[in-house]
């Protein structure tokens, strides 16, 4: 790999000796690394680098370029601890990256560079990023008011994070005094429960002839958008016009973005997003009723960010989020603050936050 493959971006021109955490967000598309300043409970990115993940076969060269770039400007800068997240299962400080041919190994990084390193799951990083969000900054979060107009203040110690992207991530963050602990889950692989005639028909379509369980992730994910589009064509008899033909001709990973792009001007694409948001609201309510996240329900992931207007339009998401046969449960759900996460650096600062909180355990 050539060093010029890596793009560098300075977020700040100043470093005054603050502790530095090396943070990483390794995804199937890009590998982002950053040096993060820690001061007064804030985590601010000093320098960030990005490289297409498919163009490298290890994270080590990217770390080396990041450190060399930083030390040219700040020769005394040293990393105290590193936190690097990856999309894949974690075992013994090692991550088998789900969408790449290479892996992350904390011990390998420690031996190469000398600083303690914590490898965490990508959704765990997002969870640790949640308490760093400024809830009053519309560039970082969007508030989703309830159907009665209420926008509850966050209270308590439990936050819930639900994020649809390539898959469906579900996790909790629990505050204990001044400490946080992320509790990852495999909630996306729970069974999907239909809740009306439309979603029962959708569930049956997703199941098809195979006698298998339909998971929530089968519908709330990128491939879920593809399944919902297929449902409208096969089960609802929607005509495949030129726009839909182009979407269907695209690679499966490219179709969700095309569906979103045409949702404002194509009735079938609009219906796909409508049904996706409807299911999202109901699923988020089920998880919220389980853990009661009075500190906030946070909707993360690229699909929500690209379709925010549809989550807000007509209170579609919140309407189905609040639906319940029992009035007292509706009242409980209306007390939960709901936010769309818009800060796309949340994974990097979250990984830094996790490493900083756990540094006594990994040093």
Q: In the prediction, which pLDDT does 346 show?
A: 93
User: Quick one: DSSP state of residue 215?
Assistant: B
pTM: 0.90
Q: What sign for the dihedral angle of Cα 52, 57, 59, 61?
A: negative
Q: In the prediction, which pLDDT does 361 show?
A: 66
Contact 46, 12 (CB under 8 A): yes
d(CA 278, CA 260): 15
If one counts every other C-beta atom within 10 angstroms of the C-beta of residue 35, the result is 25
| Average pLDDT over the chain, rounded to an integer | 92
* DSSP three-state, residue 324: coil
Q: In the prediction, which pLDDT does 153 show?
A: 96
Label residue 2 by pLDDT band (50, 70, 90). Answer: very low
Q: In the prediction, which pLDDT does 220 show?
A: 96
d(CA 344, CA 140): 8
Label residue 258 by pLDDT band (50, 70, 90). Answer: very high
Closest by CA to 280, choosing from 217, 236, 330, 326, is 217
Q: How far is CA 77 from CA 93, 107, 352, in A?
A: 25, 22, 16
pLDDT, tens digit (0-9, with 9 covering 90-100), for 158-209 = 999 999 988 898 999 999 888 899 988 889 999 999 999 999 999 999 998 6
Q: What is the DSSP string of 253-319?
A: TTHHHHHHHTTTT-HHHHHHHHHHHHHHHHHHHHHHHHH--TTEEEEESHHHHHTHHHHHGGGHHHH
Q: Could you tell me the domains of the chain?
A: 3-129+345-362 (3.30.420.40), 187-341 (3.40.367.20)
Q: In the prediction, which pLDDT does 226 show?
A: 96
H-state helical runs in 161-265: 197-207, 222-234, 242-249, 255-261
Classify 183 in phi/psi space as left (phi over 0), alpha (psi -120 to 50) or beta: beta
| Structure-block tokens of residue 218 | 């089968």
d(CA 177, CA 196): 42
d(CA 363, CA 115): 8
Q: In the prediction, which pLDDT does 363 show?
A: 47
Asked if residue 210 has pLDDT above 90, the reply is: no
pLDDT, tens digit (0-9, with 9 covering 90-100), for 15-45 = 999 999 999 999 877 899 999 999 988 999 9
Q: How far is CA 101 from CA 28, 55, 57, 95, 308, in A?
A: 10, 11, 7, 12, 33
């Amino acid at each position: 790999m050539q060093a010029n493959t890596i793009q560098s971006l300075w977020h700040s021109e100043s470093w005054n000796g603050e502790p530095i955490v090396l943070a990483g967000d390794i995804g199937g598309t890009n590998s982002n690394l950053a040096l993060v300043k820690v001061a007064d409970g804030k985590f601010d990115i000093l320098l960030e680098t990005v490289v297409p993940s498919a163009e490298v076969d290890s994270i080590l060269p990217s770390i080396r370029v990041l450190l060399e770039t930083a030390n040219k400007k700040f020769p005394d800068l040293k990393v105290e601890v590193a936190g690097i997240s990856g999309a894949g299962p974690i075992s013994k400080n090692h991550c088998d990256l789900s969408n790449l041919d290479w892996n992350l190994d904390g011990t390998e990084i420690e031996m190469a560079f000398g600083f303690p390193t914590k490898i965490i799951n990508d959704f765990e990083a997002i969870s640790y990023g949640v308490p760093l969000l400024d809830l009053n900054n519309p560039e970082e979060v969007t508030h989703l008011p309830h159907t009665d107009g209420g926008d509850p203040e966050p209270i308590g110690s439990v936050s819930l994070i639900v994020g649809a992207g390539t898959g469906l991530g579900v996790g909790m963050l629990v505050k204990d005094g001044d400490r946080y602990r992320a509790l990852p889950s495999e909630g996306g692989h729970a069974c999907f429960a239909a809740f009306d005639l439309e979603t029962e028909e959708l569930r049956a379509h997703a199941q098809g002839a195979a006698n298998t369980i339909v998971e929530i992730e089968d519908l709330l994910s990128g491939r879920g958008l593809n399944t919902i589009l297929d449902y409208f064509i096969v089960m609802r008899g929607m005509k495949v016009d030129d726009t839909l033909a182009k979407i269907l001709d695209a690679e499966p990973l490219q179709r969700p973005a095309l569906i979103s792009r045409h949702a404002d001007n194509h009735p079938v694409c609009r219906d796909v997003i409508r049904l996706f948001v409807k299911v999202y609201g109901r699923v988020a309510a089920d998880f919220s009723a389980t853990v009661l996240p009075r500190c906030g329900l946070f909707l993360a992931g690229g699909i929500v960010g690209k379709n925010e207007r549809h989550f807000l339009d007509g209170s579609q998401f919140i309407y189905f989020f609040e639906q319940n046969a029992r009035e007292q449960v509706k009242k409980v759900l209306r007390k939960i603050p709901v936010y769309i996460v818009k800060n796309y650096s949340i994974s990097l600062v979250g990984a830094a936050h996790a490493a900083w909180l756990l540094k006594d355990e990994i040093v």
